[in-house]
A and B are shown apart, each in its own frame.
Chain A
Amino acid sequence: MSDTAKLELKGVKKSFGPKKVLQGINLKINPGKSLVIIGGSGTGKSVMLKCVLGLIKPDEGSILIDGKESVGVSPNERDEIMRKFGMLFQGAALFDSMRVWENVAFGLIQGRGIDRRTAYDTAVEKLQSVGLDESVAQLFPAELSGGMQKRVGLARAVAANPEIIFFDEPTTGLDPIMADVINNLIVKSVKQLGATALSITHDLASARKIADDVAMIYQGKIIWQGPVSSLDKSGNEYVDQFIHGRAEGPITDDVKARA
């Protein structure tokens, strides 16, 4: 296996006015691995993900994809980089004016110029791989339940066989059983594609299921990273408080000190 990380962030910083959201993120994901980032609300998880996707430009630092710099590249180079990515959004972010199959096939038709017939077949195949039959293909997103929308979002994320897949809080808003179904589908999809996965979540059950490695982000920095098996014995009091969901601990003390 190559030593080059699939995705690497070095000293990534981002501020919005006086608010420093990312304060020097360092992170490395090796090819084929699944890294889950945990952390409280407002700690910079989503901003970090948007920096990697090029939706937000970091103020400082470097983001390497397959060893190549992706910050400040030309629009054409950015398009090439984006072809490596798939993303499942927190609210699925399905296009509500399009049918389910058009959503799944959107990147194939508009982004890669594949003809509609072939794209339809691929969309139905991907929908079946996430447990939805062909009859769903003709529905509109508004006609689906939250769990089904997440499945369609997952099918869309993997439709173009991406090398790197991002999952933004994939189980938020779902009941525990549906959350576990989505977790299983994520594990299956990532394994089938041999993709590298980066997920952000609050849901510890989800993290334990889909992660090879876990990192915790706090106040815009990665404060701990390790294999999922060592999560319970991290030796980091911030991680301990977070994974046990305790009201008392260093995170709460910091909040009180800042107030």
Chain B
Amino acid sequence: MVSDVKQDQAAKRSLLDGPLDFMERIGHTIMTFLSAIGRLSMFMLESVSHIFRPPFFPKLMVRQFMDIGYYSLPVVGMTALFTGMVLALQSYTGFARFNAESAIAGVVVLSVTRELAPVLAGLMVAGRVGASIAAEIGTMRVTEQIDALVTLSVNPFKYLIAPRVIAGTLTLPLLVLMGDVIGVYGGYIVSIHKLGFNPASYLTQTWNILEHMDVISGLVKAAAFGFIVSMMGCYHGFNSQRGAQGVGAATTNAVVSSSILILIFNYILTQVFFS
């Protein structure tokens, strides 16, 4: 009799185990996610607060401007050039079916300035700079160089984080501005030399359709993406776990998280500017 009751209870438990485990896992995932958001927000607040408080490190900032801006120019330039060229070719293939070839200049300039230059430059810089920031700061973390900074009375947020975030936020708009020009030029080259457009008419159409807001929205997006890339690189590097595997994971997480955030914020900013 007693054993029957025990068997019944065991059967009920096993029936409940599955859903309870599932709920526990969901709860755990939500809590982990929320705590990660909390940690990131605290890190961001602390970083931003140190950007505006002395001491400042202008030499380090100049070095970061070079690393993030100047050395990213070839990558961003090549990406913009070929994107503009492909855009002109693909648009021609589609628009020719509706006798709308004259719209190509407008499609190229609007696509490049509003979306493609900021998003692709952001993604390229996330791969090049975000990874490098995370690897550098992560290595400093695991080799105790960040602890050494603290023992030498230097705040790592001011010395390591602030210069990178400032440089990232200010240089990406400059890169995108150059990317705009190069991308439009790529479309121009293909349209003139391959598709047989009249140069003067192509340029007039480009100029007529372009509005200030198209460029400004792209630059604002670029500043946001520069902030995201540098902040994610710093955050994941700063919180890197021990060992080579920890630094590797920090680097991967920096690139993946900044790429996803760039795409999410691109949608949000597009909605804000153009809806």
Which residues on A are within 8 Å of B, measured CB to CB? 50, 53-55, 75, 79, 82-83, 85-87, 89-91, 93-96, 106-107, 110-112, 156, 160, 166
Partner of B153, one of A90, A91, A96, A107: A107
Partner of A93, one of B145, B154, B155, B159: B145
B131-175 Cβ-contact flags toward A at 8 Å (1 or 0): 000000000100111011011111100010000000000000000
CB-based closest 4 A-B pairs? A111-B153, A107-B152, A93-B144, A93-B148
Some 22 contacts from A to B, beta carbons below 8 A apart, are: A53-B147, A54-B150, A55-B147, A75-B155, A83-B153, A85-B151, A86-B151, A89-B144, A89-B147, A89-B148, A90-B144, A93-B143, A93-B145, A96-B145, A106-B154, A107-B154, A110-B159, A111-B152, A111-B153, A111-B154, A156-B152, A166-B151
Additional 10 contacts, C-beta under 8 A, given A50-B147, A87-B151, A110-B57:
A53-B151, A55-B147, A55-B150, A75-B155, A87-B148, A94-B148, A95-B148, A110-B152, A112-B153, A166-B151
Of B140, B145, B147, B152, chain A has the most CB atoms within 10 Å of the CB of B152
Chain A residues with CB under 8 Å of B57's CB are 110
Partner of B147, one of A93, A110, A111, A156: A93
Chain B residue nearest in CB terms to A90: B144
CB distance from B46 to the nearest CB of A (A): 10
Chain A residues with CB under 8 Å of B159's CB are 110
CB distance from A248 to the nearest CB of B (A): 31
Partner of B154, one of A87, A89, A91, A110: A110
Chain A residue nearest in CB terms to B63: A97
A86 to B153: give the CA distance in the assembly, Å. 10
Chain B residue nearest in CB terms to A84: B153
Are the CB atoms of B147 and A106 closer together than 8 Å? no
Residues of B in contact, count (CB < 8 Å): 14
A166 to B150: give the CA distance in the assembly, Å. 13
Scan residues 31-57 of chain B and give those whose CB is less than 8 A from a CB of chain A: 57
A54 to B147: give the CA distance in the assembly, Å. 10
A50 to B140: give the CA distance in the assembly, Å. 16
Chain A residues with CB under 8 Å of B155's CB are 75
Chain B residue nearest in CB terms to A157: B151
Chain B residues with CB under 8 Å of A55's CB are 147, 150
Of A50, A75, A95, chain B has the most CB atoms within 10 Å of the CB of A95
A185 to B143: give the CA distance in the assembly, Å. 23
Chain B residues with CB under 8 Å of A75's CB are 155
Chain B residues with CB under 8 Å of A83's CB are 153
CB distance from B49 to the nearest CB of A (A): 11
Chain B residues with CB under 8 Å of A85's CB are 151
CB distance from A160 to the nearest CB of B (A): 8
CB distance from B203 to the nearest CB of A (A): 46
Chain B residues with CB under 8 Å of A106's CB are 152, 154
Chain A residue nearest in CB terms to B57: A110
CB distance from B242 to the nearest CB of A (A): 12
CB distance from B20 to the nearest CB of A (A): 22
Are the CB atoms of B144 and A91 closer together than 8 Å? yes
Of B57, B143, B144, B145, chain A has the most CB atoms within 10 Å of the CB of B144
A55 to B143: give the CA distance in the assembly, Å. 15
A97 to B144: give the CA distance in the assembly, Å. 14
Chain B residue nearest in CB terms to A168: B144
A83 to B152: give the CA distance in the assembly, Å. 7
CB distance from B155 to the nearest CB of A (A): 8
CB distance from A232 to the nearest CB of B (A): 33
Chain B residues with CB under 8 Å of A89's CB are 144, 147-148
Chain B residues with CB under 8 Å of A110's CB are 57, 152-154, 159
Chain B residues with CB under 8 Å of A94's CB are 145, 148
Chain B residues with CB under 8 Å of A166's CB are 151
CB distance from B57 to the nearest CB of A (A): 8
A193 to B145: give the CA distance in the assembly, Å. 25
Are the CB atoms of B150 and A53 closer together than 8 Å? yes
Are the CB atoms of B150 and A82 closer together than 8 Å? yes
A85 to B153: give the CA distance in the assembly, Å. 9
Chain A residues with CB under 8 Å of B140's CB are 95
CB distance from A130 to the nearest CB of B (A): 17
Chain A residues with CB under 8 Å of B144's CB are 89-91, 93
